[in-house]
Amino acid sequence: MTVAEKIDAKLVKDLREKSGAPMGDCLKALQETKGNIEDAFVVLRKRGMASAQKKAARTTNEGAVGTYIHAGGKIGVMVEVNCESDFVARTEDFQDLLKDIAMHIAASDPRYVRPEDVSPEDMEREKEIYRAQAAATGKPANIIEKMLEGKMAKFYEEVCLLDQPFIKDQAISIKELIAQKVGKLGENITVRRFARFKVGAPDWTVATTKATEAAAE
């Protein structure tokens, strides 16, 4: 009996539902990991990120705007997600991604799209706080810098949409969620901007990628 014959069809289907990857890719991943679905999921995540990185330079001039209203109309979100073609923008997979990202923004309240978009003022403020905390431990400078890197990574995870754990699956980030769709749809996909409003809040969030801002100037 071959390895392929040993992989149960239900296992392939379960991995397909978990990862969103094509059935053929799921089967190959399960063959590589001898039927271990968790290890196969990791394999697919790595491949999805690699595929997304290869396509990252492609221009994304198509896409769609998604909306999500939460908590009985108390929170509203609008998000623009871009891809390379109108055909992909109209697919069910892309529309599902759009809805998931809008819902995630409503629940997690990110302040920026990517770490590169964090304002210099916010970045320096956080670094100064973390440096002071690290210095208070009395550790050497090289250890303090490593502690600072870890603290900033956690900060980005809290405030940057792409670095946040996906609310429907904490095992992956929004960046990895998008990478899965890139691998499946074969096009580069980017989040261009979003806005989040909450009834009664003193302010609201409007986040735009720096690349978008530069193009508009």
Mean of all residue pLDDT scores within the chain: 87
Alpha-carbon distance of 150 to 185, in angstroms, equals: 34
Q: Which residues have a Cβ under 8 Å from the Cβ of 95 and sit 6 or more positions away?
A: 64, 66
Instruction: Say what the pTM is.
Output: 0.75
132-178 pLDDT tens trace:
888 788 888 788 888 888 888 899 999 999 999 999 999 899 999 99
Q: What is the pLDDT of residue 156?
A: 93
Rounded-to-10 torsion of CA 7, 13, 18, 19: 80
- Structure token digits, residue 164: 């946040």
Average pLDDT estimate for 87-96: 96
Residue extents of the structural domains in the chain: 3-55, 62-115+160-216, 119-156
Matching CATH number, 62-115+160-216, of 3.40.190.10, 3.40.50.12280, 3.30.479.20, 3.90.1170.50 = 3.30.479.20
d(CA 81, CA 188): 11
CB 190 within 8 A of CB 184: no
- Residue 2: is its pLDDT beyond 60? no
**pLDDT for 5 beyond 80:** no
Q: Is the pLDDT of residue 32 over 60?
A: yes
Do residues 26 and 12 touch, judged by C-beta distance below 8 A? Answer: yes
Mean pLDDT of 3-29: 77
For the structural domain made of 3-55, what CATH number should be given? 1.10.8.10
Whole-number Å distance between alpha carbons of 46 and 41: 9
Report d(CA 152, CA 204) in Å as an integer: 24
Taking 80 as the threshold, does the pLDDT of residue 34 lie above it?
yes
